[in-house]
Chains A and B, each alone.
Chain A
Amino acid sequence: MTVADLGVFVDAFEFVLDERRLVLEKTWEHLLLSAAAMAIALALALPLGVWLGHLHRGSFLAVNVANLGRALPSLAVIAAGFVFLGVGFWSVALALVVLAVPPILTNAYVAVDGVETDAVDAARGMGMTRWQIVRRVELPLALPLIFAGVRTAAVFVVATATIAAVAGGGGLGDIIVNQAGYGLEGVVGAAICVSVLALAADGALGLVQRLLTPAGLRAEARALEPDVVTGVTRR
Chain B
Amino acid sequence: MSGPLAQGTPGEPVIPDFGEGSDCVVENRLFCADWVRDNWAGVLQPALLQHVKLTVIAVAVGFVIALAAALLTHRFRLLERPFGTFSAVVYTIPSLALFQLLVPVTGLTVTTVEIALVGYTLLILYRNILEGLRGVPVDVLEAARGMGFTTRQTLWRIELPLAVPAIMAGLRVAVVSTIALATVAALVVPQGLGYPIFLALREAFKTEILVAGALAVGLALVADGLLVLAERVLTPWSRTRRTT
Query: Given that A71-B221, A177-B187, A179-B3 are known contacts, is A188 also in contact with B209, CB under 8 Å in the complex?
Result: no
B92 in contact with A202 (CB, 8 Å):
yes
- Name which of B17-25, B102-110, B233-241 contacts chain A: B102-110
B101 in contact with A229 (CB, 8 Å):
no
- Name which of A119-127, A131-139, A155-163, A207-215 contacts chain B: A155-163
Q: How far is the CA of A104 from the CA of B191 in the complex (A)?
A: 32
Q: B102-156: which residues lie under 8 A (CB-CB) from chain A?
A: 103-109, 123-124, 127-128, 131
B217 in contact with A72 (CB, 8 Å):
yes
Query: Does A192 count as interface, using CB distance less than 8 angstroms?
Result: yes
B105 in contact with A234 (CB, 8 Å):
no
Among residues of A, the one whose C-beta sits closest to the C-beta of B212 is A76
Query: Does A48 count as interface, using CB distance less than 8 angstroms?
Result: no
A76 in contact with B127 (CB, 8 Å):
no
B213 in contact with A79 (CB, 8 Å):
yes
A187 in contact with B107 (CB, 8 Å):
no
A71 in contact with B179 (CB, 8 Å):
yes
Size bin of chain B's contact surface = 35 or more
Q: How far is the CA of A40 from the CA of B28 in the complex (A)?
A: 31
Chain A residues, CB < 8 A from B109: 2
Chain A window 96-119, contacts with chain B (Cβ cutoff 8 Å), 1 for yes, 0 for no: 000000000000000000000000
Q: B183-205: which residues lie under 8 A (CB-CB) from chain A?
A: 183-184, 186-187, 193-194, 197-198, 200-201, 204
Query: Does A27 count as interface, using CB distance less than 8 angstroms?
Result: no
A230 in contact with B2 (CB, 8 Å):
no
Quick one: which of B97, B101, B104 has the most chain A CB within 10 A?
Answer: B97
Query: Given that A72-B180, A76-B213 are known contacts, is A227 also in contact with B127, CB under 8 Å in the complex?
Result: yes
Chain B residues, CB < 8 A from A93: none
Size bin of chain A's contact surface = 35 or more
B201 in contact with A188 (CB, 8 Å):
no
Query: Given that A188-B104, A229-B123, A229-B173 are known contacts, is A76 also in contact with B197, CB under 8 Å in the complex?
Result: yes
Chain B window 163-194, contacts with chain A (Cβ cutoff 8 Å), 1 for yes, 0 for no: 00010011001001101111110110000011
Q: Which one of A9, A158, A166, A178 contacts B104 once the chains associate, using CB atoms below 8 Å? A: A9
Listed by A's residue number, 13 A-B pairs whose Cβ atoms lie within 8 Å are: A6-B105, A159-B94, A162-B94, A163-B184, A176-B96, A177-B5, A179-B3, A192-B101, A194-B97, A198-B94, A202-B92, A229-B124, A232-B166
Residues in chain A within 8 A of chain B (CB atoms) = 1-6, 8-9, 63, 67, 70-77, 79-80, 82-83, 155, 158-160, 162-163, 166-167, 173, 176-180, 184, 187-188, 190-192, 194-195, 198-199, 202, 227-232, 234
Residues in chain B within 8 A of chain A (CB atoms) = 1-3, 5-6, 10, 30, 89, 91-98, 100-101, 103-109, 123-124, 127-128, 131, 166, 169-170, 173, 176-177, 179-184, 186-187, 193-194, 197-198, 200-201, 204, 206, 209-210, 212-214, 216-217, 220-221, 224, 244
Chain A to chain B: the 4 pairs with minimum beta-carbon distance, closest first: A159-B94, A76-B213, A71-B220, A191-B97
